[in-house]
Amino acid sequence: MDGEYDVLVIGTAALDIKVHTRALAIEPELSNPAIIELGFGGVARNIAENLVRLGGDVSLISAVGVDEAGTQIVQQLRDVGIHTDAMIVTADHNTGAFVGIYQLDKRLRVAFDDMQVIRLITPGYLNQHRSLFHDADVICIDANLSARALETVFRLARAYDVPVCADATTPLLAQRLHPFLPELAALAANRAEAEALLGTHFRDEDEVLQGARRLAQLGVDLAIITQGAEGLSYATSDESGRLPAFNVEVVDPVGAGDALTAAVAYGLAEGLAPTEVVRLGLAAAAQTIVCQETVCPYISLEVLYERLVV
Ligand SMILES: Nc1ncnc2c1ncn2[C@@H]1O[C@H](COP(=O)(O)OP(=O)(O)OP(=O)(O)O)[C@@H](O)[C@H]1O
Ligand SMILES: [Mg+2]
């Protein structure tokens, strides 16, 4: 592995359409003025791009359509140096897409997503690419994968003894990870996703920390619950704590969670101690928040370690 670590990322790659409304109220049944940004997204794709920028040798298993968006997504993955040999390009589905409507304060108001194409990542397809599992130092997944695909991912990871890191992705999808909690080396969930996974509502910060401990009791080696501007809570079987977010000017918080998950995957690949993994995650989130883009184009290990020393 010539100094680099090998990562396999599995999950969605999609077109992101971010609509920033300019008025406080949206007029129904009319076209409303907005600033509309197009970009590449999908949680797994974002994680893969972060990891390649953090020095990883990254392969992505995802699926796109033969349409213009899919072609551009695959081209961009190649341009940044991600291996795309295991990407599915299909004529049977359109490329996945996410449309998010954001308020003036940059908070998400409502979103829609179409990730059906990801169903093409079947157990058979994953088995065909088992050499990528064998070669990986860490595997990172999002929660868009079907239950059957998830079962295969964890079976192959077990067979080749590779740690798996998961991003809980959305509250609805997070629950798919429940059967696999005992097999996770790391889980990054935001507050709503952790609530959905545990079937509970956290009333305060203490309960979030308890939630992280509960996830660790259920078998996650390193459980992380992110809390936006409040930072995060984390737990392993023998330590737990809360860490504040880095104090940075918020340019665009979208993608911070994905960057955090990527840094956690890097930490697992390198066998870093849990507290260092979590701190690197916070640094990656902060670096993403000061960037307009969903994946900060100049994120790097050097930049993260610089943030950690100040
Ligand atoms: N407004 C903010 N100010 C400072 N730090 C923030 C802010 N929002 C997020 N962060 C940082 O990013 C981390 C992840 O954020 P969050 O809990 O919002 O994840 P998320 O909902 O998964 O985000 P996304 O999926 O959009 O990437 C937090 O733990 C925190 O360190
Ligand atoms: Mg997230």
- The gap from C-alpha 47 to its chain's centroid, in whole angstroms, comes to 5
Maximum pairwise Cα distance, the chain: 58
Architecture of domain 6-12+43-92+118-309: 3-Layer(aba) Sandwich (3.40)
What single-letter amino acid sits at 160? Answer: Y
145: tokens are: 């994968």
Q: Identify any residues that bridge with 63 across adjacent strands, giving them in sequence order.
A: 88
90: tokens are: 């299909």
CA of 171 to the centre of ligand 2 (A): 10
What single-letter amino acid sits at 15? Answer: L
What single-letter amino acid sits at 62? Answer: S
- Tokens 């409040």 locate to 230
Ligand 1 pocket: which of 289, 291, 296, 299 to mutate (most atoms <8 Å of CB)?
289
CA of 51 to the centre of ligand 2 (A): 15
Q: State the Cα–Cα distance between residues 65 and 58, nearest whole angstrom.
A: 21
Residue bearing the CA closest to ligand 1, atom 4:
229
* Burial group, residue 156, by CB count within 10 angstroms (0-12, 13-18, 19+): buried
* Average confidence (pLDDT) per 10 residues, the chain, 310 residues: 82 96 85 93 98 98 98 98 98 96 84 96 98 98 98 98 98 97 98 98 97 98 97 97 96 94 98 97 98 95 92
- The secondary structure of residue 83, as a DSSP letter, is B
Atom of ligand 1 nearest to the CA of 189: 22
CA of 117 to the centre of ligand 1 (A): 27
pLDDT of residue 103: 83
Q: In the chain, helix, strand, coil percent, each to 5?
A: 40, 25, 35
CA of 32 to the centre of ligand 2 (A): 28
pTM given for the model: 0.96
pLDDT of residue 3: 58
The CA–CA distances, whole Å, from 290 to 243, 281, 286, 287, 307 equal: 19, 15, 7, 6, 12
Residue bearing the CA closest to ligand 1, atom 1:
229
Q: State the Cα–Cα distance between residues 138 and 160, nearest whole angstrom.
A: 11
pLDDT of residue 26: 83
Q: State the Cα–Cα distance between residues 273 and 289, nearest whole angstrom.
A: 25
* Burial group, residue 140, by CB count within 10 angstroms (0-12, 13-18, 19+): buried
59: tokens are: 């392969």
Residue bearing the CA closest to ligand 1, atom 8:
228
